[in-house]
Amino acid sequence: MTLRLERTLEEQEGFHMVNMVENEDCCHIISEDVKNAVIIEGSPELGLIGNIVGWLLVEELQMDEIGHIESKYFPPLAVLYKGVAIHPFRIYSNNEVVLFLSDFVVPPSVTHDMTNVIVEWMERNKSKELITLNSVVVRKKTNGVVGVANNEGSLKRLGDLEIPILPFGNINGISGTLLTKTKTSNIPGSCLFAEILNQYPDPRAAASIVDVLNRMLEINVDVEPLIKEAEEIESRLKELANTVQGEQESPAYM
């Protein structure tokens, strides 16, 4: 009777149960449960694509922070957001989409265990699918975004959306391990690669990923903030190049 009364009070107060998925080696998730959601994973690989897209989704989809991942093997840091220190690997949700967002590159030594706890969380919450975000360095941009999947159904879906498929290669880091682990767990998964020219932050490439996500998930995230950011970066780079060129052309005096 007492237990039922406590639960009733919790429900009336809008209580959200927080659960922990823990790996005995190094990782654990402290998070609310969100059932039947699409899972997006964003980590700052080359071009910071996952991180840039992730922050935009948080703002545009008005996602709430529902938890975080902890590990003693994470780098010693806190992330500042609007003057407040937050966890470097956070979990956000708007009930339909759950975002795992990291502000650091996940160390290889912890990637396997982190993947396990994320997929265990997905299994418990009966997550619909996984979409992980990454990048591929090219000499010249052509298609903007290419994709891969962990099963034929997800591959066909990418094809139906006219997303070019990356036929061969290796997927390093958490994107690769998540794809193989979700495949083992029979969770549909795909990875979207933005084409980038170098390792520097590329908001324009991130915008191309958002365009694909809009079609895949039938959402309407505005990419204009990323385009403006890209134009500002390009303008600053052009000014820097002109300054350097001007210094090189300056006459030398003895």
Structural domains of the chain ordered from first start:
16-245 (3.40.50.10900)
What CA–CA distance (Å, rounded) separates 139 from 145?
Answer: 14
Residues 6+ apart with CB under 8 A from 151: 183, 188, 189
pTM beyond 0.85, yes or no: no
Instruction: Decide if 134 contacts 175 (C-beta within 8 A).
Output: yes
| pLDDT at res. 240 | 62
What DSSP string describes 87-104? -SEEEEE-SSEEEEEESS
Q: What is the pLDDT of residue 254?
A: 46
Distance CA 101, CA 44 (A): 9
**How is residue 165 annotated by DSSP?**
B
What torsion, rounded to 10 degrees, do the Cα atoms 163, 181, 172, 107 define?
Answer: 130
At 201 the pLDDT is 87
| DSSP reduced 3-state for 159 | helix
In tens digits, the chain (254 residues) has pLDDT values of 333 333 333 333 333 445 655 545 578 899 999 999 999 999 888 889 999 999 999 999 999 999 999 998 888 888 888 899 999 999 999 999 999 999 998 888 899 999 999 999 999 999 999 999 999 998 888 878 999 999 999 999 999 999 999 888 888 889 999 999 999 999 999 999 999 998 888 998 999 999 999 999 999 998 888 888 877 776 776 666 666 555 545 454 44
